[in-house]
Amino acid sequence: MRYKYNISNLDCANCAKRIEDFLNKDKNLKNVTVNFSNLKVTVETDYKGDVLKYINKSVKKIEPNAVIYSTEVKKENVTNDIIRLIIGVLIGVVGILINIEYLSTIFIIISYIILLYKTFLRAIKILVNDKTINENFLITISCIGAYFIDKQREGLMVIGLYEIGKILEATALNNSRRSISNLMNIKPNFANVKENDIIKRIDPENVKIGDIIVVKDGEKVPLDGIIVSGSAKVNTSALTGESILKDFKINDTILSGMINEEGLLEIKVTTDYENSTVNKILELVENATDNKAKTETFVSKAARIYTPLVFLLAILVLLYGVIFTHDSFIFWFYKSLVFLVISCPCAIAISVPLSYFAGIGKSSKEGILIKGSNYLDNLKNIKRIIFDKTGTLTTGKFENIKIDIKDKKYSKEKIEEITVKGEALSNHPIAKSLIGLINIKVDNKDVKNFEEHKGKGISFEIDKDKIKIGNYKFCNSDNDNAYIYISINDKVVADLSVTDKIKDDAITTLNELKHKNIICEMFTGDNKSNAISVGNTLGIDKISFELLPQDKYDLLNNYIKNEIVAFVGDGINDAPTLALAHIGISMGGIGQESAIEASDVVIMTDELSKINTSINISKYVSKIIKQNLTFAITTKVLVLIFSIFGIASMWQAVFADVGVTLLTILNTMRILKKRF
């Protein structure tokens, strides 16, 4: 089974990675992810006992202060640390200013104990339990070392500034997580259930399919359903990213997460909370950062090597100075202590996953669901995008229909009746569009042996007649001038010509993609004339027509070996092709389970322009990550070099540690403010 928990008292991304690696070595656990960005732990296990207790016991071995909870974790409270910091600093200042030597020593030692004890205890626990040298150990050694070489003031300064930095870092991280969470603050808190004209407010998870719920002005729609009474202006921005209010009326489908801005609605619930749109979206966003990008994985691994490497360099610096120079042991010991203060990799380890987390949250706010950091990262590398036609580049909703009767035994009305009877059993967008366009009601109980042939059409029987509706090859037509053919007993009796409108934003979207030097191609099962007409209007670079799903799969398979390719479809058909592409993008995925399941990126509206938005977000996230890594690494390396030449002291070393971490976190938050 798969379990999801919350984790508290997690100091840094490097600590999260250590816990994740340790738990993954446990034979009773598998696919463990510890997400520092949103403080979540996900684990799969067949363990029969108390899973939470078992995981907590294991975590204590590697990170003694961390605690796993099944309930939501409140943000980290730094009040006690602030009080401890103030008391410790005040006592330290008194110790520095007092002129009586033994009293000064006592006050400074007390200040050291107050400020350093928490870091010291962490260092010892991790050293004993995990046999690992981490930043707490290095800071402890630096401060104690400074005390014994008569640098007590600098030692106090190091631990004081380190504690200040940790408090600011925790505050910034809490604010960052809250900002990202607010972007996806779409979870309904209650549902007004109507029973015998009495309204009861209950938890959405307890509402049953078929219940009637009432949604008043300003309330969120708690569950998916169909409006049975009332009308309202509804804000759909939480799901689609669109701020314009939409009108909803009786018989309209409405989705959880939307907000009733004006009106009163009674809704018949069609899905339970677990399968509701809002819950699926929250699960996708929550799980997205479990699929880590290559950059994130590399940084996590590098961070584990970085700290012991710097510790080794500090020892080498000390040995070099003592053996090959005439300077004193204390002089070089001080330099090595500066090395240790710089050693914490937090700025690098925190900023990368936090950037991806912010990018995924921002994408969700724009109406784009991205299933993982790896997909967000890869969007910027796309070299070719292949589009399905119907329902993707076109609306999939036919505007006009012309029926050409080939066999005079059948009237127009009879052809319409046969068409609607068969297409009513299909889930294809074309079928739904045809039914809407013909707009007649029929009873299809006499339809037998219905079968859907992917990329071809449908077949069924009425009485003794064997009927096919589909493309010209499927119906054995002599020409391909029409869009759809109807064959009865292997004879074409009629064909249908329809007009499928190109989406309003298709041309501008493709032009922008070409401006990014992305090749745009179209795969369609439609006939040559329709495909070329649409392709030429849009300026498609290459058009492939009359393709079956297997043909699309085989053609795409040839591309993915040489370049990063995305496939864009409607999420209902071509599931294998969507899965095969480096990035599968589903259009109009709102409320469609098939779209969410089949693809890596779900555009929750029918707007093709969101593809460019997702690429732009990917590029911006990458830019922020590069800025953070460049700034953090450059600063640390410069301070290391300057310390060797006596230019940098522990003041600069502390800035290179906690100061840089804080600045990279603040820089990462620009992702949430950026307009795309």
Residues taking part in catalysis: 388
> How many residues comprise the chain?
676
Structure tokens, 628:
């953070």
Say whether 532 sits in a helix, a strand or coil. helix
Rounded to whole angstroms, the Cα distance separating 344 from 250 reads 60
Q: Sort strands 519-523 and 542-544 into parallel, antiparallel or unpaired.
A: parallel
Q: Exposure of 393 by Cβ count < 10 A (0-12 exposed, 13-18 middle, 19+ buried)?
A: buried
Q: Outline where DSSP puts E strands in 406-509.
A: 447-453, 457-462, 465-470, 484-488, 491-502
Sheet-wide strand order for 484-488: 394-405, 491-502, 484-488, 465-470, 457-462, 447-453
Rounded to whole angstroms, the Cα distance separating 540 from 369 reads 26
Contact partners, residue 420, CB within 8 Å, separation at least 6:
434, 435, 438, 440, 442, 444
Q: Exposure of 671 by Cβ count < 10 A (0-12 exposed, 13-18 middle, 19+ buried)?
A: buried
Rounded to whole angstroms, the Cα distance separating 406 from 104 reads 107
Residue type present at position 422: G
Rounded to whole angstroms, the Cα distance separating 116 from 124 reads 12
Say whether 411 sits in a helix, a strand or coil. coil
Rounded to whole angstroms, the Cα distance separating 29 from 6 reads 17
DSSP 273: G
Which phi-psi region, left, alpha or beta, contains residue 210 (left: φ > 0; alpha: ψ -120 to 50)? left
DSSP 655: I
- Closest C-alpha among 429, 436, 474, 438 to residue 456: 474
Backbone angles phi, psi at 544, to 5 degrees: -120, 125
Rounded to whole angstroms, the Cα distance separating 140 from 156 reads 11
Rounded to whole angstroms, the Cα distance separating 222 from 189 reads 8
Rounded to whole angstroms, the Cα distance separating 125 from 62 reads 8
Q: What is the DSSP string of 65-97?
A: T-EEESSPPPPPP-HHHHHHHHHHHHHHHHHHH
Rounded to whole angstroms, the Cα distance separating 655 from 83 reads 22
- Own/partner contacts of 505-511, CB < 8 Å, gap of 24 or more, are 505/607, 505/608, 505/609, 506/393, 506/394, 506/538, 506/608, 507/537, 507/538, 507/539, 508/609, 509/608, 509/609, 509/611, 509/612, 510/538, 510/539, 510/540, 510/608, 511/539
DSSP collapsed to 3 states, 331-395: HHHHHHHHHHHHCCCHHHHHHHHHHHHHHHHHHHHCCEEECCHHHHHHHCCCCEEEEEHHHHHEE
DSSP 220: B
Rounded to whole angstroms, the Cα distance separating 589 from 585 reads 9
